[in-house]
Amino acid sequence: MQTPLFDAGARKQTVSLTVNGDLYARIRALGISASRVLEAALVQALREKQVELLRAEIRQDMVALADYVAGHGHPAAELREMFDAPEAT
């Protein structure tokens, strides 16, 4: 199950932003909701940042695994040895 990026049901918050006046007037004249566009853009930016952070964490984990394997050997090799060894009777 995937964890949501944010609480979509959270209360709306009024914020103050500075945007190009002509741009705002044109989108408003066309009936475009600046709030909806901004929220969608923020969701996309959050998603992209989360992916970037996750990829960095995975890279860090892969380096740590490679370092471990270099110093101690691969954990699967030890398991193979354990399960491939003939049973002592």
Query: How many separate domains does the chain show?
Result: 1
Question: Would 2 be classed as within a structural domain?
Answer: no
Question: Would 8 be classed as within a structural domain?
Answer: no
Question: Would 6 be classed as within a structural domain?
Answer: no
Name the residue range of residue 72's domain: 21-84
pLDDT at 88: 59
User: pTM, whole model, 2 decimals?
Assistant: 0.71
Q: What angle do CA 39, 43, 48 make, to 5 degrees?
A: 145
Question: Would 11 be classed as within a structural domain?
Answer: no
pLDDT at 82: 79
Question: Would 15 be classed as within a structural domain?
Answer: no
pLDDT in tens, the chain (89 residues): 788 899 999 999 999 999 999 999 999 999 999 999 999 999 999 999 999 999 999 999 999 999 999 998 888 887 888 788 666 55
